[in-house]
Structure 1
Amino acid sequence: MTFLSNLLRLPVRWLAILGGGIADLVALLKLLARAFPGDKAGRQQRLLGVLATTAGQRALFGVLRVFWANLVLRRKLVAAYDNTGTAIVTRDVDVREVLARDADFLVVYELRMRRITAGENFFLGMQDSPAYQRNVSAMRLAARWEDVSAIIRPTVDEHAGTIVAGAEGKLDVPAQLTLPVVADMVARYFGTPVGGDGQPSRDDLIAWTSVMFWYLFIDLGADPDVDRGATEAAAAARDWLDQCIADRKANPTETDDVLSRCLGLQRADILGFDDLAIRNNLIGLIIGAVPTLSRAAVQALDQLLDRPGPLADACAAARADHDSKLAAIVFEALRFNPVNPFIYRRALADTTIAQGTLRARRIPKGTLVLASNLSAMFDPARLDVPERFDSTRPPDDYILWGYGLHTCFGRHINSAVVPALLKPLLAAGTPRRAAGDAGKLDTAGTPFPAHLVVELIPVRVDPGHRAGMAADKP
């Protein structure tokens, strides 16, 4: 009976998916139409600008999921990594297939990672191999999961709470909250201090990590200015980390941080902890932490500011110390504008994805595959009513931190820190956008949120409501 009822529901579901694809096509055409007025010379740039927005990408992916789920092009759309063409993968099951087939679809970051380190690769740019497993295992000895509750969350909670308390009802969230808190947390946790005599400033750390992240993961057009900035930042960061290592070896401390643990493992003659390996692993982890955590928090808040109901729920959860509920709301908001809309892989040899289905496509050797996690998280074949904001979705519906072998090393840190950055702000009142351009997310010409000014509307907390919510503060 269950089989029969599912069979009867199947045409209805696919009609709904087809209708969604048509609706996305109409939305995409409307967005593109806005780019046509004005001078003809700048039209192509305006069209690309539309497709660079989250709204444009979601509409485009909605069309592709229905009509060209796995689009394979001979044209090279990406200049930053060697490739022979481009494939765009949009269905959730196919995105996960690409990211799970490590032997067929390779990570592409090695060449640029070697430029960052001036020689050696970092495990993010490695294939599954003894070297990859050794490096990841080594860093798990130094950067431990239990550090999230023991070191990282307390550091973030205290600093973010202090900033919000002194904000006097108005705050530029990235500039005054998320970036400073994350940069200082990274300096404390990794044991790589900033702001002292002979040390880089906090702003230096933010600038260095941002341009290096941009170079490694976002600079698809191979912009020479980004290349130059990342090269200069990498050289400065290497010198700083080399000095941090030398200073700590010359003046050991009892501080429990990642660098101290690495040096302890080095003294124990554990493979993978020579000075160069420590420096390269630290630079890779720091690049992944500062811009990612701030960007995720700000983009989630930006989505909540446009949704009064979820925003109110997030504020209530923050005030009640209901951390799991707050995290669920924040990550559902981030689904609508994740840190990256694509994850990149390159086909090692001719292969096929979605084998045995109508959307099966041959992927030629050398093709750069853009596996769209943004599209996957709006695939109605997996998610119920994906356009609806629903913070009760199961965690497996999300691909926010990657998937498979190269799932983000710091995903447990991300899951704790991103909502923690926003918690004091949401607990202090109801944030709303400041008037004019100040209240709009401004990237200042970069891929990262630089400014978003909010004002706090004070709220009266109902003691009965607070007591009635189950707190789960770690």
Structure 2
Amino acid sequence: MTEPTTGAPAVPRTRSCPFLPPDGIAAVREAAPVTRATFTSGHEAWLVTGYEQVRAVLRDPSFSVRVPHALHTQDGVVTEKPGRGSLLWQDAPEHTGDRRMLAKEFTVRRMQALKPNIQRIVDEHLDAIEAQGGPVDLVKTFANPVPSMVISDLFGVPVERRPEFQEIAEAMMRVDQDAAATEAAGMRLGGLLYQLVQERRADPGDDLISALITTEDPDGVIDDMFLMNAAGTLLIAAHDTTACMIGLGTALLLDRPDQLALLREDPSLIGNAVEELLRYLTIGQYGGERVATQDVEIGGVRIGKGEQVVAHILAADFDPAFVDEPERFDITRRPAPHLAFGFGAHQCIGQQLARIELQIVFSSLLRRFPTLRPAKPVEELRFRSDMVFYGVHELPVTW
């Protein structure tokens, strides 16, 4: 067994290549896939970087998401977490029951039925970009608004409130601000969602909130707070993650012209391409935080009850034990079971929607603009190292 050490080194965070994991994280994984490290907050905890070891942490019910310290923020403060319906911050048995209720609204069949609306939203934004003419910031004109429109339609968010929702989503995803600023953004989101829930109770539609309101609920779980928590969690997560993948994925494709050419020549590769983009970019750049609720062994290392753990999913998706030549971006690679959507009980409930959306987005973008090219060198782009999910702040393109 390996016991905790003291004065642990800091977790690598600096990237010499913006599309690859932080420098040094591979060496950490090679030396010890489960080791002690010091995080941004100054707290020391276990860092898990190996593919099999990360999977073991994420599927083990001995690890709770209700952590005592926020390891990735500067102040380490854990703000008060929402209750029922907020899947990201729940443990079993509440998480199990709530996820089961919400999963009924995210079936593959229902997500497939959204394709025409997603295509309409994508086409309308591409029409506007084409009419405007290049160069344009693809993040501002496409990557951000498209996922916002898709998820807002799904939840019935009125058009006039969507700009405010986008602003709140960005504020809540920052890791370089204090807990008070994050809490203030959460309060704004709560007000928006409370009003939305009341409107849906008075006048139900065909949106997801209305569907939950009319769901059979013998235990009386689905109250206003449940609906607000569920909608808030899914709205923020679905919007920001997909927006990051569109912007960063486009930047990567433009940076790898050989792979871009392959996709243009053979559009049937889009499914493979999206899976490789998801693995290669793994935008949850800091990993999932957990705390052990009992003594547990991971990869031959004893983790004591009450000790915190970070499952570094990005490092795991680049583990050579998982995929050959992990730093080679190859859209013809046979899709592998990457961890970009997480693993275990907390695996992303909206992953099928994300896959469909990304396939439509990249296929449509490259079809509409076959000569799409960057309007600014990659070295001059601002990357989202200051956010929970990695991406680009802007992506100037032309054609």
Same fold (TM over 0.5): yes
1:286-311: per-residue Cα shift (whole Å, max 9, x none)?
A: 12111111001212222111111111
AA matched with 2:64: L
Q: Which has the larger radius of gyration?
A: 1
AA matched with 2:398: E
TM-score normalised according to structure 2 size: 0.84
Give the one of 83, 102, 110 matched to 2:61: 102
Contact 2:155 2:207 in 1 (8 A): yes
**Which residue pairs with 1:296 in the alignment?**
245
SS in 1 for 2:289: strand
SS in 2 for 1:265: coil
**Aligned-pair distance for 1:434?**
0.3
AA matched with 1:211: A
**Which residue pairs with 2:99 in the alignment?**
136
Matched, 1:274 2:223: yes
Quote the Cα distance in structure 1 between the aligned partners of 2:60 and 2:85: 21
Matched, 1:145 2:105: no
Contact 2:384 2:393 in 1 (8 A): yes
Quote the Cα distance in structure 2 between the aligned partners of 1:125 and 1:435: 39
Quote the Cα distance in structure 1 between the aligned partners of 2:252 and 2:378: 16
**Which residue pairs with 2:312 in the alignment?**
372
**Aligned-pair distance for 1:194?**
3.5
Count of aligned positions: 377
**Aligned-pair distance for 1:392?**
4.0
Change (3 A) 1:399 1:373: same
5 Å-filtered alignment, 1:58-457, equals 58-73=22-37, 76-79=38-41, 85-103=44-62, 105-108=63-66, 115=80, 117=82, 122-129=86-93, 131-151=94-114, 153-167=115-129, 168-195=133-160, 200=161, 202-214=162-174, 219=175, 223=176, 225-252=177-204, 255-265=205-215, 271-318=220-267, 322=268, 325-341=269-285, 342-354=287-299, 360-428=300-368, 429-435=370-376, 440-443=381-384, 446=387, 448-456=391-399
1:62-101: per-residue Cα shift (whole Å, max 9, x none)?
A: 212322332224xx52539xx7x32222221111111121
Contact 1:378 1:387 in 2 (8 A): yes
AA matched with 1:372: H
**Aligned-pair distance for 1:283?**
0.9
Q: What RMSD in Å do the two structures reach over aligned CA positions?
A: 3.1
1:185-205: per-residue Cα shift (whole Å, max 9, x none)?
A: 12111122231xxxx3x2211
Structure 1 unaligned residues grouped into runs of 5+: 1-44, 355-359, 457-474
SS in 2 for 1:362: strand
**Which residue pairs with 2:4 in the alignment?**
none
Contact 2:14 2:22 in 1 (8 A): no
Change (3 A) 1:438 1:51: closer
SS in 2 for 1:71: strand
Change (3 A) 1:410 1:330: same
Quote the Cα distance in structure 2 between the aligned partners of 1:444 and 1:384: 27
Structure with greater helix share of residues: 1
Quote the Cα distance in structure 1 between the aligned partners of 2:210 and 2:50: 44
**Aligned-pair distance for 1:271?**
3.8
AA matched with 1:265: T
Contact 1:433 1:440 in 2 (8 A): no
Quote the Cα distance in structure 1 between the aligned partners of 2:302 and 2:18: 28
Change (3 A) 1:316 1:384: same
1:135-193: per-residue Cα shift (whole Å, max 9, x none)?
A: 11111234443221212x32221121122233234431111002111111121111222
Contact 1:72 1:363 in 2 (8 A): no
AA matched with 1:245: V
Structure ranking higher on relative contact order (CA contacts 8 Å, 6+ apart): 2
Change (3 A) 1:450 1:204: farther
Change (3 A) 1:250 1:398: same
1:424-458: per-residue Cα shift (whole Å, max 9, x none)?
A: 211121321103579735549656532101112xx
**Which residue pairs with 1:21 in the alignment?**
none
AA matched with 2:96: Q
AA matched with 1:149: Q
SS in 1 for 2:328: coil
Contact 2:197 2:209 in 1 (8 A): yes
SS in 2 for 1:454: strand
SS in 2 for 1:352: strand
Contact 1:442 1:449 in 2 (8 A): yes
Quote the Cα distance in structure 2 between the aligned partners of 1:290 and 1:78: 25
AA matched with 1:262: L
Change (3 A) 1:52 1:372: farther
SS in 1 for 2:281: coil
Quote the Cα distance in structure 2 between the aligned partners of 1:331 and 1:430: 23
SS in 1 for 2:104: helix
Quote the Cα distance in structure 2 between the aligned partners of 1:427 and 1:178: 16
Structure 2 unaligned residues grouped into runs of 5+: 1-9, 70-76
